[in-house]
Every structure is written in C-alpha cells, then in structure tokens.
Structure 1
C-alpha cells in the first residue's frame, strides 16, 4: 500500500497545542493534542513554556516521519500571535515568551505616547486599539528601555507562528497576518511599518516579510518536504471561507471571544470604531479585514453557570436546548432572556463591521454555531441578512494547510466542499 501524502499542521493555542495531518482532500487522517504547564518569567508572571513547546514540535514531527502509512509533504504552523520570541546570533531563544496579559508599566506607556502621539492617533494609524502588552510592538519597546542589555543581544524578534517555522526551516521571516493583528507596528495607510517602529530602530530586528503562502526547505539535510512561514490563528480561520465563497460575507468566529470578521470592508477604521474595540487584521493575501470583538463566550459561560445554580439544573439542559419560543418553563424563559441579551450585544458588535457594505451573509463558526437558541435569535436580529451555522473540521488548522496548497498539494484546485452550512431563519410565533 502506498503511503498517503499529507501536510502536518501545528495549531498552537494558549491552552491546547494540536497536531493534525491532512490528506490532499483536506480530510484529517491523524490528530493529537497536548497541554503544557506554564512557567514564569523573571517577574514571576505566568508565560508559555517555550522549551517544552519546542521539544514537542521536534518530537511530534519525528514521530510523523516514522509513520509508514503517511508521506510527509509539508509542514505549517498557526499560533496566537501577540507575543515575540527573541533570538540571538546563534538562533537561540534568549528571553521568555512574555505573556500578552502581563500588565504594562504606566510610566513607559506615558513615555511612548508622549513621544509619538496620543493613544487615539496611534490606534487610528495602526488600526490597533490601545491594548498595552497585547500590542506586541509595545513589548519590543518595553525590552528596549527596561532591558537594554537583552535588547542588544536580539538578532531577530519573531512572532510565535514564525518562530515555530524557524525551528524547522532555520529561516527567519515575518508574516503579514501576524504583523497586522493589533500589534501597533503597521501603518495601514502607508502599508509599511509605522514611523515609531523605524525611529526606535526596531526594523533591524524584524525579519524580512515573506508571503503567507510561501514555502522553504527544511534545515535538516535529506528532509524532502516543504515548510510554511506560519500564520496568525484568527487569520488562518478565515482562509477556508475565502477559498470557498465569492459572495461577500461576515464570519462570526465564536469561542471565548466572538470575533466578527469582514474581509470585504476596506474602509479605514474610524475613531468611534476603535473606541468600541474594532481593529484591522491582515488576511493571508495581504488585504485588511475589519473586525470587532466581544467577550461573548466568557459571558455565556458565566451566565449559564448562574442560571443552572439558581434553578438546580445541569448546564447540559441549556447547551443542547432546541429553540421553541412557546416554552413556558421559568428557567428556560430566564435562559432565553439571557441569550437574547447576548445576541443584542452581538448585533451591535457585528453591525460595526457590517454597515455600509454589500454583505448579505453571516457565517457563524465555533461554539455558538451549535447553539440552536443563539442561532435562531441571531437570525431574528438580522432579518435582512442570511444567517448560517458553518461547520468544518478544525477551521484554523485547515486554513493553515490551505494557505500553502500550491506548495505541496498535487491537486490543481482547492476543494469546494470543505464547509457545511445550516440556514437559520426567524421563527414566527403562532398568533391565535
């Protein structure tokens, strides 16, 4: 039996680290998940265990290469992108992978904005809400002024997806999907690094920008597969939709955060949108994607727990509830009111990226796409837009594989049956 040609995708989240093998039709033929205990940085703040992650990548890849039923043709990486790995001249990591939730020093923050303009100005020009350490460019600024000796030793600062690629290829690159995601590094109007980045000399340690669909050879002699550059996870999740649909759409990607992504809105962010936590991503082909964020998943979990405790019911009762507007049970009415409130907030957030655009479709993926009550109420909230629950196997990992399709896959075109859609419409009450 001939071995199956596959691409290995490492999908690295803050909690779960996953490995998938996709065949040429993008079926998952192998998967594995791991979790690592966090370590701490020099201040005792929790951060990624970079050494454990590095070793896991090498061990997993070696295991895949030994599996006789598969032939490894390519490797690519997706990861959260709001933190840098700092490499010295030898290519060794010389600092922790600082946590983007780490509090930012007020004195340094004031110094930065006093020098380069107020928060609103920088946020507008970089399409990045002022998010302190979540703006990875400000992490670089912090090291320069708080740890100057460390800064002098940095050869390259790589966002995490590109560092993972570097481990296998030995080649240092930057990527537009990581640079363009709330980093405060990129001037969207000039399509270049922002002036503050150049004035601080940071471009010297930012690796050359490579195309997101580019591939390079592995560093180990004799290895015969292609290595992708790596992608920011939110941008990767959008790729299957861009590959499958030509008509304008908004993707509502739901999890802990509910992120509304509109790749068909190229207008600059307004000050009002930035104040409401809108931002721009850069998708894998280099075009901006207007996005809004809401902490919907977290609020849902908290509210659901409170309702289940109040009425002495298991949360499973509500998670799997089919939508019926005529149900009169007190706890269900309470649950409906709760979800309706979340949907009202979600409508406001999604409207920020939907207004004044030709979009007439909303695709919902992630946890809320499986929630019948949420989906029906969302359809009611958008009566002039078609609302669909979208399902596919591992959107982020799939998008990461699709990004380099033409670098490894022998099939001439990307399949068009990657996504299953379920249409939702408003349920009308029977009036007697």
Structure 2
C-alpha cells in the first residue's frame, strides 16, 4: 500500500525545498533546488519567477509518479513581503521584486503625509516603517510609478498564495501574509487599513481564505487538497501551538533573533515600534507580538574579531562549554556584569570592548555571549506579559550551551528550554491543514526540549 503523504513546498530566499511528510509527521522524502537570481528592469537582483513556477509543476509531477507514496494534499510556505502581479490570464506582469530593493523617499513620504503620518500608520498596522519590506508599499509604488501596469493587475498575490494559485487557479488572500509587516492590515479594526481601500488596491488581493483551509483540486488527473499557503515565520510557530497550551515565548534564532509571543494581543505602542517590535499573524488570525534583534549577525562579526585577535579558528568556538568560573572572573573584571550593576540593553556592549582586557579567547567569547544575552533579555521583555512561564529557543543559539545557560540565569523566574523540531516551517505548513489529509490528530511529541536551570546564580552573574 502506498504511504499517504502531504507535499510541502518550503521556499526560502536561498533554498527551495520539497518535502513529503507522512501521517505521523515524519519526513519521508526531500529534495532541494537553488536557482540563479535574475534582475529586474533596474538591474537589481530578484527571484527567478519562471524557474520557481516550473520547479513547482515539475516537482509535483515527479512525486505523483512515485509508487510508494500517495500524495493526498499539498501546501506552501515562503518568505514574506513579496508580491506576484498577475494579469487577467494569470500571467506575471513584472519581475518578483526583491523586498530589499531601496524605496524612493519622496514616494514613501507622500503616503504617510496623506494618511496621518508614519507613527499613526505604523501603530495601526503594527509594523515599523521598512520601505519595500512593507509589501503594501510595493503596490503603492507600482500604482504611482507604473500606472499602466497597475491597471492591468487582476491579482496581487503574496508568494505563498501565488504558488497555491499555480495549482488551483483560485486567487486568495491569507492573513499570515497580509498581516505581517505589510502595512496593509489595521490590527485595531481587523480589516484592511483605510489607505488600502482609499487607493483602491484591496480588490486585487483575492478572497480571504482561512490559513487552515484547502481546496479540492484535480492535478494531472489526481484529486488532491491544496492549501492556501502561509508566511514562513507564522508556519514555524504552528508545531509549538499544537504541542503546548500554557503561554510561552518562542525565540527563533538565526541572523535575526525574533521573540514571538502568541499570547500577547496588546496593541503595539509607539515606543515599542521604535525598538523594532512588530506583529506577526497567528494562522488562526490573532496578532503575535514580536521583537527582534540582529544578534546572529552580530555574533558572527564579533566571533571573527575574537578569533583573529587570539589567532584561533572560528569553528572551534562551537565546541566551547559553559564555564561558571570564567563568568565569575568576568564579574570581578567588568563591573556591569555583576547582578548589582547588570542592566539589560537595546544594544550589545561587546563591539566597543577592548579585546586585550581578556586573558583567553574563551573568556572573550563568554563575554560576547553575556553581552548578547543582556540585549536578548531587553528585547524579550518588550513582548513578555503576565502568565508566560516558559521560553523556547530554537535555531543556532539553542545549540549554544553558553547562551542557553546565561539566558536561564538572566531570567530565573522563567523556565528556559532549547527546543528543536526538524523542519519546523514545513511541519507547521502541513499541520495547518492536517484535517484535510490526515486521519490522525496532530502528534504531541514532535518537539524535543532540553531544560536549562538557573541554579548557576551562585556565580553572582
């Protein structure tokens, strides 16, 4: 008997992956592809949309031929802030513009002046001003700079919904894409923001479809359930929401360290926005308050500085163990490390530190992590609220024993866990439409946890 599976397309900026996931949420098949970027009309790099489209069709065709699997459903998760503009025949009208593309200052100012100012729009849409990373601003730009193309746009679909459209032919909007740092959604009124309606772009998004819905579709003679697609950050949170009922914060660590609190629906304040807080959207349509710091990037930069100063290979630091004696030495050496002096800070103090202060590379590295933790806790506390008793850390820092021990010491009133779920984004994307393809309930043991206690406070950190 062929094994029932769901096919998940997980499209990142660099790697495009296809997974087959069985009813027990085991990944039973995986393939990946990387495409050479193309350029837009301004010569700026962007996604090769034609390669992506062909890959979706070809890959799905190939897995449907595999005799050992019975593909029951398909769903999609991709990076956010990217629109595909389609004409009435479903053909793309423009390149898939890069969300890092610089945004004209005068055009940006014209929208905010017209609709009450940056702070007002940011507060109402729960998003900092981020230029092209606010995908709504991309549409505003198209309307103003290329009105003839804008007028030909039948559908403006975020990338996950475009991939779904390729299979179903149905244009839909999804709240996890519309609601994430787009400046399209009014979080207070739970509808498109007034500027979206006033500029007459809301009619181009397709019909709203719940993120956990799917559509029965025939593809190459086989009937499959096709999901509407999700924004990858929201998808990665779903396994945690499926496994834990008690309030928690997930710190997702990578280049950015993002603290996500699905249990905090308090509106963002102007002060929080200035400190890079924003709201993501829960796949069930609730706001997820989030804060972020560029700590993974900072870690890599400073690690190279330490390695160079002490003539050590950077990869050796991955094997360093937490050393309480080093922390104790540092507390005596650097006054602000002591509990009495310690202050959490929006910025890491380490870039300004003189490396000659440290006797060994190990000592310098412990101080780097100590400074990053002070920054991380500052960021975390922006989204913490009463009732949260657990923090989960996934990604690179979750595997860093020094980081995990120091985080547990810094927030002793909260349980701290390193967590891991293999391919969380893909698993979450499958879980979103579990009932459409899987006769089993979602498993409750898909997340591995390692607890870190705060008993090392005896070192007076």
Q: Assess same fold via TM > 0.5.
A: yes
Match status 1:122 vs 2:121: yes
Contact 1:170 1:219 in 2 (8 A): no
The counterpart of 1:344, out of the listed 374, 382, 399, is: 374
Contact 1:365 1:390 in 2 (8 A): yes
Q: Secondary structure at the match of 1:362?
A: strand
C-alpha separation in 1, matches of 2:219 and 2:61: 12
- CA distance, structure 2, for counterparts of residue 122 and residue 259 of structure 1: 22
Which residue of the partner structure matches residue 416 of structure 1?
A: 444
Unaligned runs of 5+ in 1: none
Helix, strand or coil at the partner of 1:218: strand
Gaps of at least 5 residues in structure 2 are 330-358
Q: State whether structure 2 residue 429 is matched by structure 1 residue 400.
A: yes
In structure 2, C-alpha distance between the alignment counterparts of 1:380 and 1:165, rounded to whole Å: 45
Residue of structure 2 in register with 1:137 after alignment: 136
Q: CA deviation at 1:221?
A: 5.7
CA contact (8 A) 2:173 2:206 kept: yes
Q: Pairwise mapping of residues 277-426 of structure 1 onto structure 2 (< 5 A)?
A: 277-327=276-326, 330-354=360-384, 356-411=385-440, 413-426=441-454
- 1:146 aligns with 145
Q: How far is the alpha carbon of 1:325 from its aligned partner? A: 2.1
Aligned to 1:88: 87
| Structure 1 residue aligned with 2:185 | 186
- Give, in whole Å, the separation in 2 of the partners of 1:172 and 1:430: 58
Q: Distance in 1 between matches of 2:361 and 2:397?
A: 20
Given the alignment of the two structures, is residue 156 of structure 1 paired with residue 186 of structure 2, yes or no? no
Displacement of 1:217 after TM fit?
2.3
Contact 1:215 1:407 in 2 (8 A): yes
The answer on whether the counterparts of 1:265 and 1:357 sit within 8 Å (CA) in structure 2 is no
CA contact (8 A) 1:264 1:357 kept: no
Q: Secondary structure at the match of 1:406?
A: helix
Instruction: Report the alpha carbon displacement of residue 305 of structure 1 after superposing the two structures with TM.
Output: 1.6
Does the CA-based 8 Å contact 1:162-1:175 persist in structure 2? yes
> What are the within-5 Å matches in structure 2 for residues 130-279 of structure 1?
130-220=129-219, 222-279=221-278
SS of the residue corresponding to residue 290 of structure 1 reads strand
SS at match of 1:93: coil
RMSD: 1.3
TM-score of the superposed pair, with normalisation by structure 2: 0.91
Deviations 1:251-292 (A, max 9, x none): 001111111000111111111111111011111011111000
Kept after mapping to 2: 8 A contact 1:326/1:429 = no
The whole-number CA distance in structure 2 between the counterparts of 1:214 and 1:24 is: 18
